Structure 1
Amino acid sequence: MLDKNYDPKTLEKAWYRRWEERGWFAPDAATPAPTAGADTYCIMIPPPNVTGSLHMGHGFNNTVMDALIRYHRMKGERTLWQPGTDHAGIATQMVVERQLAAQGSTRHDLGRAAFIDRVWEWKGESGGTITGQLRRLGSSLDWANERFTMDEGLSTAVREVFVRLHQEGLIYRRKRLVNWDPVLHTAVSDLEVLSEEESGFMWDMRYPLVNGTGYLVVSTTRPETLLGDCAVAVNPNDERYQHLIGEFVELPLTGRRIPIIADDYADPAFGTGCVKITPAHDFNDYEVWLRHRDETAIADQPHGGLINIFTPDAAVRSNLPEEGSLIPAPYIGLDRFAARKLVVADLEALGLLALVKDHRLQQPRGDRSGALIEPYLTDQWYVRIAPLAEPAIAAVEDGRIRFVPDNWKNTYFDWMRNIQDWCISRQIWWGHRIPAWYDAQGNVYVGRDEQEVRATHGLAPELPLEQDPDVLDTWFSSALWPFSTLGWPDETERLRDFYPTSVLITGFDIIFFWVARMIMMGLKFMGEVPFRDVYIHGLVRDAHGDKMSKSKGNVLDPIDLIDGIDLETLVDKRTKGMMQPHLAEKIAGQTRADFPGGIPGFGTDALRFTFAALATTGRDVKFDLGRIEGYRNFCNKLWNASRYVLMNTQDQDCGLGAAPADLEFSAADRWISARLQVTTTTVRESLDNYRFDLAAQAIYEFTWNEFCDWYLELCKPVLTGTDASDAARRGTRRTLITTLETLLRLAHPIMPFITEEIWQQAAPLAGVQGETIMLAPYPTAAAGDAVADREITAEIDWVRQFILGVRRIKGEMNIAPGKPLPVLIANASEQDRRWITAARPYLDFLARTQSITVLDDPSQAPESAMALVGEMKVLIPMAGLIDKDAELKRLDKEIARLSDDVSRTQTKLTNPAFVDKAPAAVVQKERDKLAEHAAAISNLTAQRERIAAL
Structure 2
Amino acid sequence: MLEKTFDPGPIEARWYAHWERTGAFRPARPEARPFTIVLPPPNVTGTLHIGHALNQTLQDILVRWKRMQGHDARWVVGTDHAGIATQMVVERTLAGQGLSREGLGREAFLARVWAWKAESGGAITRQMRRLGASCDWANERFTMDEAYARAVTRVFVQLHAEGLLYRDKRLVNWDPQFQSAISDLEVENREVNGHFWHLRYPLADGSGHLVVATTRPETMLGDTAVAVHPEDDRFRHLVGRRVAHPLTGRQLPVIADDWADPELGTGAVKITPAHDFNDWAVYERHREIGWINILNPDGTLNDSVPEPYRGLDRFEARRRVVADLEALGLLERVEEKRVQVPHGDRSGAVIEPFLTDQWFVDASRLAKAAREAVATGRTRFVPASWEKTYFQWLDSIQPWCVSRQLWWGHRIPAWYTPDGTVIVAESEAEAQAKAGPGVPLRQDEDVLDTWFSSALWPFATLGWPEATPDLARHYPGDVLVTAFDIIFFWVARMMMQGLHFTGDVPFRTVYCHGLVRDAAGAKMSKSKGNAIDPLVLVDRYGADAVRFTLAALESQGRDVKLDEKRVEGYRNFATKLWNAVRFAQAQGIGAGSEAPPAAAHPVNRWILGEAAAMVRAVTASLEAFRFDQAADALYHFTWSRFCDWYLELAKPLLADGSAAAAETRATAGFVLDQLLKALHPFMPFLTEELWHAQGQRHTDLILAPWPAFAVAPSDAADEITWLIELVSAIRSARTELNVPPAARLPLHAPPAIEARLARHLPALERLARVSALAFAPPAGPGIAQLVVAGETYALPLGEVIDLAAERARLARAAEAAEREAEGLAGRLANPGFLARAKPEAVEKARADHAARLAEAERLRAALARLG
Query: For this structure pair, what is the TM-score category when the shorter chain's length is used for normalisation?
Result: over 0.9
Equivalent position SS for 1:133: helix
Of residues 602, 610, 619, the one that matches 1:675 is 610
Q: Is contact 1:741–1:763 with CA below 8 Å preserved after alignment?
A: no
SS in 2 for 1:552: coil
Distance verdict in 2 for CA 1:112–1:929, change over 3 Å: same
**Following TM superposition, by how much is the alpha carbon of 1:69 offset from its aligned partner in structure 2, in angstroms?**
0.4
* Aligned amino acid, residue 848 of structure 1: R
The CA deviation at 1:234 is: 0.8
1:509 matched residue in structure 2: 485
Tell me by how many angstroms 1:418 deviates: 1.1
Matched residue, 1:794: 718
Over 3 Å counting, the alpha-carbon distance change for 1:127 and 1:219 in structure 2 is: same
Question: CA, structure 1 residues 261+612, in 2 after alignment: closer, same or farther (shift >3 Å)?
Answer: same
Give 1:911's aligned residue.
none
Matches within 5 A, 1:239-254: 239-254=233-248
Q: What are the residue-to-residue correspondences of 1:708-747 with 2, within 5 Å?
A: 708-721=643-656, 725=658, 727-747=659-679
User: 1: distance between equivalents of 2:301 and 2:594?
Assistant: 88
The AA in structure 2 aligned to 1:646 is: Q
Deviation at 1:931, TM superposition (A): 7.3
| Distance in 2 of aligned mates of 1:898 and 1:397 | 56
Deviation of the 1:899 alpha carbon: 11
TM-score with structure 2 setting the length: 0.94
Tell me if the contact between 2:743 and 2:800 (Cα under 8 Å) persists in the aligned partners: no
Quick one: which of 780, 783, 787 aligns to 1:868? 787
Q: Deviations over 1:17-63 (max 9, x none)?
A: 1111111112xx2xxx42x3421001010000000100000000000
Give the corresponding residue for 2:259. 265
Report if aligned partners of 1:45, 1:83 keep a CA contact under 8 Å in 2: yes
Question: Any residues of structure 2 matched to 1:762-841 within 5 Å, and which?
Answer: 762=694, 764=696, 769-782=697-710, 784-786=711-713, 788=714, 791-826=715-750, 830=752, 832-841=753-762
Change (3 A) 1:763 1:42: farther
In structure 1, the residue matched to 2:828 is none
CA drift at 1:108: 0.5
Q: Distance in 1 between matches of 2:376 and 2:847?
A: 54
SS state of the match for residue 511, structure 2?
A: strand
Q: Could you tell me which of 429, 440, 449 is aligned with 1:473?
A: 449
Counterpart of 2:523 in structure 1 is: 547
1:123-170 deviation per Cα after TM superposition (whole angstroms, max 9, x unaligned): 011002101100000000111111100010110100011011111111
Which residue of structure 2 aligns with residue 339 of structure 1? 317
Q: Which residue of 2 aligns with 1:388?
A: 366
Alignment partners' CA distance in 1, 2:564 and 2:541: 10
Once residues 839 and 473 of structure 1 are traced to their aligned partners in structure 2, the CA distance between those partners, rounded to angstroms, is 71
In structure 2, what residue type is equivalent to 1:836?
L
CA distance in 2, matches of 1:941, 1:169: 78
Q: Map 1:473-492 to 2 at 5 A.
A: 473-492=449-468
Q: 1:253 to 1:498 in 2, by over 3 A?
A: same
Kindly provide the CA deviation profile for residues 540-566 of structure 1, in whole angstroms up to 9, marking residues without a partner as x. 000111111111111000000111xxx
- What is aligned with 1:644? 583
State whether residues 545 and 570 of structure 2, in contact with CA within 8 Å, keep that contact through their aligned partners in structure 1: yes
2:356 is matched with which residue? 378
- Asked if 1:83 is matched to 2:77, the reply is yes
Given that 1:51 and 1:92 are in contact with CA atoms closer than 8 Å, whether structure 2 keeps it comes out as yes
Q: Is the 8 A contact 2:807 2:863 kept in 1?
A: no
- Matched residues in 2 for 1:657 and 1:528: separation? 41
Equivalent residue, structure 2, for 1:110: 104
Alpha-carbon separation, structure 1, partners of 2:820 and 2:100: 65
For residue 838 of structure 1, report the CA deviation from its aligned partner: 3.2
Distance 2:823 2:725 in 1: 39
CA RMSD of aligned residues (A): 2.8
Determine the structure 1 residue equivalent to 2:121.
127
Q: Which amino acid aligns with 2:775?
A: V
Q: CA deviation at 1:841?
A: 3.1
Cα distance in structure 2, aligned partners of 1:317 and 1:271: 29
**1:438 aligned residue:** 416
Contact 1:806-1:874 at 8 Å conserved across structures: no
Q: Secondary structure at the match of 1:750?
A: coil
Match for 2:555: what amino acid?
A: T
Alignment of 1:567-716 (within 5 A): 601-649=540-588, 665-716=600-651
Deviation at 1:271, TM superposition (A): 1.9
Contact 1:638/1:703 (<8 A) preserved: yes
CA distance in 1, matches of 2:300, 2:427: 37
Q: What amino acid is aligned across from residue 838 of structure 1 in structure 2?
A: R
Tell whether 2:764 aligns with 1:843. Answer: yes
Structure 2 match to 1:580: none
Equivalent residue for 1:750?
682
Q: Which of 847, 860, 864 is equivalent to 1:942?
A: 860
Identify the residue that residue 413 of structure 1 maps to in structure 2. 391
The question of whether the paired residues in 2 share the 8 Å contact of 1:891 and 1:940 is answered with no
Counterpart of 1:639 in structure 2: which amino acid?
W
Asked whether the equivalents of residues 817 and 856 of structure 2 are also in contact (C-alpha less than 8 Å), the reply is no
Question: % of aligned pairs identical?
Answer: 52
Q: CA offset at residue 490 of structure 1?
A: 1.2
Structure 1 residue 688, shift from structure 2 partner: 1.1
Q: Distance in 2 between matches of 1:426 and 1:339?
A: 27
Deviation at 1:937, TM superposition (A): 6.9
TM-score scaled by length of structure 1:
0.86
User: Are the aligned partners of 1:805 and 1:874 in contact in 2 as well (CA < 8 Å)?
Assistant: no
Shift of 1:854: 2.7
Amino acid at match of 2:56: N
Deviations 1:407-459 (A, max 9, x none): 1111101111111110000001000000001111111111011101122x251
Q: Quickly say closer, same or farther: Cα 1:617–1:933, change in 2 above 3 A.
A: closer
Distance 2:848 2:233 in 1: 62
Q: Secondary structure of the equivalent of 1:822?
A: strand
Contact 1:665-1:732 at 8 Å conserved across structures: no
Deviant stretches of 4+, over 4 Å: 654-660, 858-863, 888-906, 923-937
Instruction: Choose which of 330, 333, 336 in structure 2 pairs with 1:355.
Output: 333
Cα 1:272–1:844 change in 2 (3 A) is same
Structure 2 residue 775 is matched with structure 1 residue 854: yes
- Relative distance call for 1:493 and 1:944 in structure 2 (3 A) is closer
2:472 aligned partner: 496
- Residue identity matched to 1:385: A
**Alpha-carbon distance in 1 for matches of 2:274, 2:268:** 19
Instruction: State whether residues 438 and 465 of structure 1, in contact with CA within 8 Å, keep that contact through their aligned partners in structure 2.
Output: yes
- Cα distance in 1 for residues equivalent to 2:220 and 2:527: 34
- Hey, what's the Cα distance between the residues in 1 that align with 2:294 and 2:743? 90
Residue 658 to residue 331, structure 1, CA distance change in 2 (3 Å): closer
Cα displacement string for residues 720-747 of structure 1 (whole angstroms, at most 9, x for unaligned residues): 13xx62x211110001111111100000
Please give the secondary structure, in 2, of the residue aligned with 1:280. helix
In 2, the alpha carbon distance for the partners of 1:659 and 1:520 equals 50
How much has 1:846 moved relative to structure 2? 2.1
SS of structure 1 residue aligned to 2:419 = coil
Which residue identity does 1:175 align to in structure 2? K
- 1:905–1:926 Cα contact (<8 Å) kept: no
In structure 1, the residue matched to 2:302 is 317
Give 3-state SS (helix, strand or coil) of 1:536's partner.
strand
Aligned to 2:179: 185
Unpaired runs of at least 5, structure 2: 826-837
2: CA distance, partners of 1:638 / 1:658: 22
Answer whether contact 1:667 1:796 (CA < 8 A) is retained. yes
State the distance in 2 between where 1:453 and 1:177 align.
29
Distance 1:677 1:899, change over 3 A: closer
- C-alpha contact (below 8 Å) 1:825/1:875 kept by paired residues: yes
Contact 2:815–2:856 (Cα < 8 Å) also in 1: no
Q: How many angstroms apart in 1 are the aligned matches of 2:197 and 2:398? A: 32
User: 937-946 or 156-165, which moves further after superposition?
Assistant: 937-946
**Is 1:41 matched up with 2:35?**
yes
